[in-house]
Amino acid sequence: MSRLRRIAAPLVLAAGGSLFAVAPAAEAAPAACDTTSTPYTYVVTYQPGTRASAVDKELAAKCGTKVAYYPEIAVAIASSRNADFQQKIGVYRAYSGEKDVASAASARSLRAVRTLEDTQSVAAAGDLSAQQWDMKAIHAPEANKIYQGSRAVTVGVLDSGIEATHPALRSAVDARSSAGCVTGAPDLSPASWAPTTSDHGTHVAGTIAGKDPAAGFTGIAPGVRLASVKVVNDAGYIFPESAVCGFVWAARHGFAVTNNSYYIDPGMFYCPKQPGDAAAFEAVRRAVELSTRRGVLNVAAAGNSGFDTTAQTTDPNRPHPVDSTCGILPKAIDGVVKVSAVGYAGTKSSFSNYGKIDVTAPGGDFVQTPPPGAGPSCPLSATVFGGQYGSKCGTSMASPHAAGVAALIASRFQGIPPQLLAHLLEGEADVVKCAATETECTGPSKNNSYYGHGLVNALDAVR
């Protein structure tokens, strides 16, 4: 013990001028942890290299319990009943989207902007091939005749789960690579990665790798494997901890591609300089970058708000200022391929976000109506519980078209780095110029704010 510690008692001057030591006041006993309130889940960031034992020690001291710890990125998922847990850890290190949603103030201000993708029609029985205008737009039928992808390539569908018994998907879903990530910790039980309240993930999966000869339905890369990585909870939310778990799972299991047809809740924009947001942004950034370093190309939907994502100053979901440092997660992270949507006519879907776009793909549009017999306005895929087919519109539908084409390229050039894979995906896309009437579309023909480098092309990916 140092000399300073031995004489640490404060010295005060007595009335007569002499000094005497005063015994230090007893420290207040730490308040007992809350054991009765509702527990909420948090992402908590640590310094790189932090050991799990140190994480356990801090969480226990601050009334938290470890749900998972990802040492590769020094991010913990923790649960706490204490209302002040975030303050105990630090408001720039911890965040709970779940708690934000549950709080009365946030519940009044948060708005879900997901109704578009829930709009669907159920296809009648019969040959569906003529109704797959989206596949024809990207030359997938011609590509299928040449190459359908490799079973050595796995595409992770980070979504609401995949119905593995669907006739178009039962030979594609790899149970060994699938996991539930809703809690923030991977769960390998089949029930954890199966869909419950949403068929969104099944629709996405069908576009990427579905195949059902009896129904005349074929996706883009039916030769590849699919992993169901469930990140959407039964209320329809994708919280930061679920996405972190999903990206780390992809990194650990050697996926070539992931599809991310969502934005992370409960806000739309996360700002790295704001309390709470900073922890969520950093945790997701680390997880995405880990997956990229480990060879995964992450593909994401641009969003359905119909605005320029680079020019927003407000968040449509919750009241907080937005500037150029803020972004929609996960698409705001460097290296993630951002996909806008086009309708049947080949022009930007009325709902599609734009701004910083890498490629575009069919996502449908209710105002771009196909001729009779060509299918519904929204892309058709394996969806609707019970092995049926249906259509959905959204950039959520555009993103898996790009992911499917990326899977074909990854199959041809196995082990290709994600940066080169993205470069080939963009380079083989068909240029889509800004039309004279598209006054908000800016940039050169080969890289503009509506269509990025162009419409993905499956045929060019395989030849």
Tell me the pTM: 0.91
Mean pLDDT over the full length of the chain: 91
Give the contacts of 326 (CB within 8 A, at least 6 positions apart).
269, 270, 271, 272, 277, 312, 315, 332
- Domain boundaries along the sequence of the chain: 40-95, 115-462
DSSP codes, 105-131:
HHHHH-----HHHH-EEEPPSS--GGG
The pLDDT value given to residue 124: 62
263 within 8 A of 399, measured Cβ to Cβ: no
Question: pLDDT digits over 308-324, tens only?
Answer: 999 999 999 988 999 99
Q: What is the mean pLDDT of residues 146-169?
A: 98
Q: What is the mean pLDDT of residues 175-197?
A: 98
The pLDDT value given to residue 13: 36
Report how far Cα 458 is from the mean position of its chain's Cα atoms: 24
Q: Left, alpha or beta for 461 (phi > 0: left; psi -120 to 50: alpha)?
A: alpha
Q: Answer yes or no: is pLDDT of 276 > 80.
A: yes
First to last CA, the chain: 73
Question: pLDDT digits over 89-128, tens only?
Answer: 999 999 999 999 998 444 444 443 344 554 556 666 578 9
Render the burial of 183-222: b for 16+ CB within 10 Å, e for the rest: bbbbbeeeebbbbeebbbbbbbbbbbbbbbeebebbbbbb
Task: Say which CATH architecture domain 40-95 belongs to.
Answer: 2-Layer Sandwich (3.30)
Range from 74-83, 103-112, 261-270, 426-435 carrying the lowest mean pLDDT: 103-112
The pLDDT value given to residue 176: 98
The pLDDT value given to residue 103: 85
Q: What is the mean pLDDT of residues 159-184?
A: 98
Indicate the pLDDT class of residue 178, thresholds 50, 70 and 90.
very high
The pLDDT value given to residue 30: 60
Q: What topology does CATH give the domain 115-462?
A: Rossmann fold (3.40.50)
Q: What is the mean pLDDT of residues 413-421?
A: 98
The pLDDT value given to residue 386: 87
Indicate the pLDDT class of residue 385, thresholds 50, 70 and 90.
confident
What 8-state DSSP symbol labels residue 379? P
- Cα separation, 59 vs 76, in Å, equals 10
Q: Answer yes or no: is pLDDT of 15 > 70.
A: no
The pLDDT value given to residue 127: 86
- Cα separation, 446 vs 66, in Å, equals 48
- Cα separation, 259 vs 39, in Å, equals 30
394 within 8 A of 341, measured Cβ to Cβ: yes
The residue type found at 114 is R
Give the contacts of 447 (CB within 8 A, at least 6 positions apart).
453
Q: What is the mean pLDDT of residues 146-168?
A: 98
Question: pLDDT digits over 20-77, tens only?
Answer: 334 444 444 467 999 999 999 999 999 999 999 999 999 999 999 999 999 999 999 9
The pLDDT value given to residue 126: 72
The pLDDT value given to residue 3: 32
Q: Which of 375, 272, 276, 369 is nearest to 328 (CA)?
A: 272
Of all residues in the chain, what percent carry a pLDDT higher than 90?
86
Indicate the pLDDT class of residue 84, thresholds 50, 70 and 90.
very high
Range from 18-27, 291-300, 343-352 carrying the lowest mean pLDDT: 18-27
Q: What is the mean pLDDT of residues 219-236?
A: 98
Indicate the pLDDT class of residue 5, thresholds 50, 70 and 90.
very low
Instruction: Identify the residue with better confidence: 386 or 238.
Output: 238
